[in-house]
C-alpha cells in the first residue's frame, strides 16, 4: 500500500559520470517495496520544478533505508543531487507493479539486462531472485553504458552478490565494444538455452532486446518510462501504447512500470 | 481538529450543502479511489470525478503531459470509462465512503450532454453535475462550446431540462469576456459556475523541433495560471448572483483564501493533488486556522470581502 512521507536523506553519494545514489530513511517503503516498483521524489517547497520525479527502487534495506540511483538530467535531478545528509525529501511510494517473480522451469536461465541508468532496479531484482527463487537458478547480468566511468562503481554491488556482469560500452572502454543487446548473442548464443529476461534501459535498447527475445520465444519483462505528473493513476498522463492484444493504452504508473514485452507496441 | 467544530465551513451550491468549500478538480483526482491510501474522502467538500462521456474514451497518444515553468500542460484527451461503467463500477465505492460526489460530464453535441445528465438524474450518490463545456462541438465545426455564449447557453439549457440535480457549469478561460459567458449560462439555468478550466498552451522540444505533446497543444494548469484564474473568478463573481467556484493553481490554504475573498463560494484543487495527495486536507485545515485567527465563525463572513 503506497503512502506519502517526509523522509530524511541518510547519505548522498556522487558516483561520478553524473550518477548519484541517495540513501533515504523511509521504513514503510523499505518494508513494502518490491523490485521494479518506484517512488515519486520532490525536494523543497518551491514551485519550479513543480512535479515530483519518478525513480525505481534501487535497493531496500532491512533497517528501514532504501536507495535510488539516478542520473542528473535537468533541474529536478539537479535538486536531488544537491541534497545533503539530514535534509528531507517528500516521497510517495512504493508505486506500480514490479517484476513478476515466479520460479522458472528447470534449465531456464534468468537474464537481467540493463542499459545506462536502467541498471537502477536490477540490483534489487538480482537480490530478490537469489532470496526467493530456488538455489541454483542460473542468473546472468548484462549491462551496457556509454563508458567505463558510468558502470564501474556499480559492478562491485553485483560482485558482492557473487554475480559477474557481462559488460558492453559504446566507446569500448570496458567489456564488449558495442551495444548491450549484442551481448545476448555473445552470452547465450543464437539459439541458446531457454532464457527468461528482465530488462530496463532506453527505449531503443529495450525494443531491440524485446525483438531478440520474441525471435527466441523467451519471456521478457521490461520496465518502461513515461512522463508522469502523479505516479498513482490520478492524471492519466503516463500512457503507453499497447500492442493491441489487451489495452489500447496502458498507464505506466499503474499497469507497470514493468510490462510483458509482448503487451507493448514497440512502434 | 478542535477548531473544525467551532467554525462553520458549510457552503451551499444550488440545493447541495458541502461540508466545506474545498473540492477536488475534475481530472486530477481520478474517480476518488486513487486517493484512498492518502486521504479521508469524507473530509472534503466534494469529490469531483474525472470527466465522463456517454461512451468510454481511450484518450490521446503519448506524450500527454509535460512540465512547464510552475505548471504543466496536459492533453489527456478526456480518457474515461464511460457513464455506464462509471455508474456500475466506480460510483458504488465512492458512495460507500460517504463522500459528496460531483460528476463532471462532457459531450460532442448538445444532445449528448442532455443524455448524460438524464442518465445521472436520480442515480443515488450523485450530489451534483458539473458540465465541462471546454469541448469541441462536433456539429458546429469543432468550436468549443465554452467559447461561444450562445452554445454555452444551449448546453446549459439542455442539461437543465434533462435533470433536477444541482448544475455547475465549468467555464473555459479561453474567451475574451468571461462575464458574458458567466451571465449566459446563469440565465440559461446554471445553479453555479466553476472556473477556470485549463488555458490552451504549447511547448516545443528544441532538439527535435517537435511539440512536446503529441496533441501539439494542451491545457496549462498549476500555480502558473493562478493570477489569471483569480482575475477571472473575481470578474465572474461581479457578474452573476449564483455561486462561483474558483479553480486554478491552488496549492495552499492561502491560495484558496484569495479566491474566497475575490468572491468564490468554494474552490477546487487540481494539479496540487499530483504533487501532494493530501493537499486538499491541508488546505481545509489552513482555512480553519485563518478564520480562527481573524475571529470569523463562518466561511461566509470572508466571501467577497475584497477591499478595493
Ligand atoms: C517508473 C520510472 C522509473 C524511473 N527510474 C529512474 C531511475 O531509477 N533512475 C533515473 O535516473 N531515472 C529514472 N527515471 C527517469 C527520471 O524520472 C527522469 O530522468 C527525471 O524525471 C528527470 O527529471 P529532471 O527534472 O532532472 O529532468 P527534466 O528537466 O524534467 O527532463 C530532462 C530530460 O529527461 C526527460 N524526462 C523527464 N521526466 C521523465 C520521465 N518521467 N521519464 C522519462 N524521461 C523523462 C525529459 O524528456 C528531458 O529530455 C524513471 C522514470 C520512470 C517513469
Ligand atoms: C491532467 C488533467 C486532467 C484534467 N481533466 C479534466 C476533465 O476531465 N474535465 C474537466 O472539466 N477539467 C479537467 N481538468 C482541468 C482541471 O479540473 C482544472 O480546471 C485545471 O487543472 C486548473 O486547476 P489547477 O491549476 O488547480 O490544476 C484537467 C486538468 C489536468 C491537469
Ligand atoms: S503518472 Fe499520473 S496516471 Fe500515471
What pLDDT tens digit does each residue of chain B (308 aa) get?
Answer: 444 458 999 999 999 999 999 999 999 999 999 999 999 999 999 999 999 999 999 999 999 999 999 999 999 999 999 999 999 999 999 999 999 999 999 999 999 999 999 999 999 999 999 999 988 777 777 778 999 999 999 999 999 999 999 999 999 999 999 999 999 999 999 999 999 999 999 999 999 999 999 999 999 999 999 999 999 999 999 999 999 999 999 999 999 999 999 999 999 999 999 999 999 999 999 999 999 999 999 999 999 999 98
Asked, for residue A90, whether it belongs to a domain, the answer is: yes
- Chain B contact for A42, CB < 8 A? yes
**Rg for chain A, CA atoms, rounded:** 18
CA distance A107 to A110: 10
- Say if residue A108's pLDDT is above 90: no
Output the pLDDT for position B64.
97
Radius of gyration of chain B (CA): 18
Residue A246's pLDDT band, with cuts at 50, 70 and 90, is: low
Starting at the edge strand found earlier in the chain, the sheet holding B71-74 runs B65-68, B71-74, B217-221, B199-202
> Do A30 and A68 have their domain in common?
yes
Q: How many domains does chain A have?
A: 2
Q: How many CB atoms lie within 10 A of CB B264?
A: 30
Ligand 3 pocket test, pick from A96, A227, A250, A253 with the greatest ligand atom count within 8 Å of Cβ, gives A253
Q: Nearest chain B Cα to A225, which residue?
A: B63
The reply to whether A79 and A180 lie within a common domain is no
A147 lies in the same domain as A183? yes
The ligand minimizing its distance to the Cα of B27 is 2
What domain range includes position A165?
109-223
Of the candidates A73, A95, A117, which is a domain's last residue? Answer: A95
- A84 and A124 within one domain: no
Non-local (6+) Cβ contacts of A135 within 8 A are: none
Asked if A122 and A186 sit in the same domain, the reply is yes
Q: Is residue A260 part of a domain?
A: no
pLDDT value at residue B288:
97
Query: Does some domain include residue A233?
Result: no
DSSP string, B149-195: HHHHHHHHHHHHHH--S-EEEEPPS-SS-HHHHHHHHHHTT-SEEEE
- Structural domain includes residue A174: yes
Residues A114 and A91 in one domain: no
Q: What is the C-alpha separation between A252 and A120, in angstroms, rounded? A: 17
Cα separation, A243 vs A220, whole angstroms: 14
- The verdict on A47 and A123 lying in the same domain is no
Position A254 in a domain: no
Q: How confident is the model at residue A133 (pLDDT cuts 50, 70, 90)?
A: confident
Q: Cell 566507446, residue? A: A171
CATH code, A154: 3.40.50.80
Nearest to A235 among B28, B63, B276 (CB): B28
* A32 part of contact set with chain B, CB < 8 Å: no
What's the rounded Cα separation, in Å, for the pair A166 and B158? 67
Nearest 5°: phi and psi at B278?
-100, 10
pLDDT, position A189: 74
Same domain as A27, residue A88: yes
Let me know whether A125 and A205 are in one domain: yes
Q: Are A227 and A240 in contact (CB under 8 A)?
A: no
pLDDT value at residue B108: 93
A86 class by beta-carbon count within 10 Å (0-12 exposed, 13-18 middle, 19+ buried)? exposed
Cα dihedral: B222, B205, A178, A15 (round 10): -40
Q: State the pLDDT at residue A192.
A: 62
A142 and A51 within one domain: no
A102 is a domain residue: no
Task: Select the more confidently predicted residue: A136 or A241.
Answer: A241
Minimum-distance CB partner of A226 among B38, B62, B273? B62
Instruction: Give the pTM.
Output: 0.96
Residue B237 has a pLDDT of 98
Taking phi over 0 as left and psi of -120 to 50 as alpha, with beta for the rest, A28 belongs to: alpha
Number of Cβ atoms within 10 Å of the Cβ of B241: 7
Q: Does A121 share its domain with A56? A: no
What would the grid cell of residue B233 be? 473568478
What whole-number distance in Å separates Cα of residue B130 and Cα of residue B135? Answer: 13
Which of A47, A54, A58, A98 is the pocket-test mutation for ligand 1 (most atoms within 8 Å of CB)? A54
Q: What is the CATH number of the domain that holds A42?
A: 2.40.30.10
Domain for residue A232, yes or no? no
- Average pLDDT over all residues of chain A: 93
* Cβ–Cβ below 8 Å for A4 and B66: no
**Does residue B135 have an active-site annotation?**
yes
Q: Are residues A12 and A71 in the same domain?
A: yes
Q: Is residue A103 in a domain?
A: no
Alpha-carbon span A141 to A112, nearest angstrom: 5
Amino acid at each position: 500500500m503506497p503512502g506519502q512521507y517526509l523522509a530524511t536523506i541518510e547519505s548522498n553519494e556522487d558516483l561520478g559520470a553524473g550518477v548519484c545514489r541517495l540513501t533515504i530513511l523511509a521504513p514503510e517503503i523499505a518494508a513494502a517495496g518490491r523490485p521494479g516498483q518506484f517512488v515519486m521524489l520532490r525536494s523543497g517547497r518551491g514551485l519550479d520544478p513543480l512535479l515530483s520525479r519518478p525513480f525505481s527502487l534501487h535497493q531496500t534495506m532491512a533497517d528501514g533505508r532504501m536507495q535510488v540511483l539516478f542520473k542528473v538530467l535537468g533541474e529536478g535531478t539537479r535538486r536531488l543531487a544537491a541534497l545533503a545528509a539530514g535534509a528531507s525529501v517528500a516521497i510517495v511510494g512504493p508505486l506500480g507493479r514490479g517484476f513478476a517473480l515466479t520460479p522458472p522451469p528447470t534449465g531456464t536461465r534468468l537474464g537481467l539486462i540493463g542499459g545506462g541508468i536502467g541498471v537502477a532496479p536490477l540490483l534489487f531484482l538480482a537480490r530478490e531472485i537469489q532470496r526467493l527463487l530456488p538455489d541454483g537458478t542460473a542468473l546472468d547480468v548484462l549491462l551496457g553504458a556509454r563508458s567505463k566511468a558510468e558502470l564501474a562503481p556499480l559492478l562491485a554491488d553485483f560482485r558482492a552478490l557473487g554475480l559477474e556482469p557481462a559488460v558492453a560500452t559504446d566507446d569500448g572502454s570496458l567489456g564488449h565494444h558495442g551495444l548491450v543487446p549484442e551481448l545476448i548473442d555473445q552470452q547465450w548464443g543464437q539459439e541458446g538455452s531457454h532464457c527468461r529476461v528482465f530488462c530496463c534501459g532506453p527505449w531503443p535498447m529495450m525494443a531491440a532486446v524485446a525483438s531478440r527475445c520474441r525471435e527466441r520465444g523467451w519471456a521478457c519483462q521490461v520496465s518502461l518510462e513515461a512522463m508522469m505528473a502523479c505516479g498513482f493513476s490520478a492524471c492519466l498522463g503516463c500512457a503507453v501504447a499497447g500492442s493491441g492484444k489487451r489495452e489500447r493504452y496502458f498507464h505506466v504508473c499503474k499497469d507497470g512500470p514493468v510490462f510483458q514485452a509482448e503487451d507493448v507496441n514497440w512502434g | 481538529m478542535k477548531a473544525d467544530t467551532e467554525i462553520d465551513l458549510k457552503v451551499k451550491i444550488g440545493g447541495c450543502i458541502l461540508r466545506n468549500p474545498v473540492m477536488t478538480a475534475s481530472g486530477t483526482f481520478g474517480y476518488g479511489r486513487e486517493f484512498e491510501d492518502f486521504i479521508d474522502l469524507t473530509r472534503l467538500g466534494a469529490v469531483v470525478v474525472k470527466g465522463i462521456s456517454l461512451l468510454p474514451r481511450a484518450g490521446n497518444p503519448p506524450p500527454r503531459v509535460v512540465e512547464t515553468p510552475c505548471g504543466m500542460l496536459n492533453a489527456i484527451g478526456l480518457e474515461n470509462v464511460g457513464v455506464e461503467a462509471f455508474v456500475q463500477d466506480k460510483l458504488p465505492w465512492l458512495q460507500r465512503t460517504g463522500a459528496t460526489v460531483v460528476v463532471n460530464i462532457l459531450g460532442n453535441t448538445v444532445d449528448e450532454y442532455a443524455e448524460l445528465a438524464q442518465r445521472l438524474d436520480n442515480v443515488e450518490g450523485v450530489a451534483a453535475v458539473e458540465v465541462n463545456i471546454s469541448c469541441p462541438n462536433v456539429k458546429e465545426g469543432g468550436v468549443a462550446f465554452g467559447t461561444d455564449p450562445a452554445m454555452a447557453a444551449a448546453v446549459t439549457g439542455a442539461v437543465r431540462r434533462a435533470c433536477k440535480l444541482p448544475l455547475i457549469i465549468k467555464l473555459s478561460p479561453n474567451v475574451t469576456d468571461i462575464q458574458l459567458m458567466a451571465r449566459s449560462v446563469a440565465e440559461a439555468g446554471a445553479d453555479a459556475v466553476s472556473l477556470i478550466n485549463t488555458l490552451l498552451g504549447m511547448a516545443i522540444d528544441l532538439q527535435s523541433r517537435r511539440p512536446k505533446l503529441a496533441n501539439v497543444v494542451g491545457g496549462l494548469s498549476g500555480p502558473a495560471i493562478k493570477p489569471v484564474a483569480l482575475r477571472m473568478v473575481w470578474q465572474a463573481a461581479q457578474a452573476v448572483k449564483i455561486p462561483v467556484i474558483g479553480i486554478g493553481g491552488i496549492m495552499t490554504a492561502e491560495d484558496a483564501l484569495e479566491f474566497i475573498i475575490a468572491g468564490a463560494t468554494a474552490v477546487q484543487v487540481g494539479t496540487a493533488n499530483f504533487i501532494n495527495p493530501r493537499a486538499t486536507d491541508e488546505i481545509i485545515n489552513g482555512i480553519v486556522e485563518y478564520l480562527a485567527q481573524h475571529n470569523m465563525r463562518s466561511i461566509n463572513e470572508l466571501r467577497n470581502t475584497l477591499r478595493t
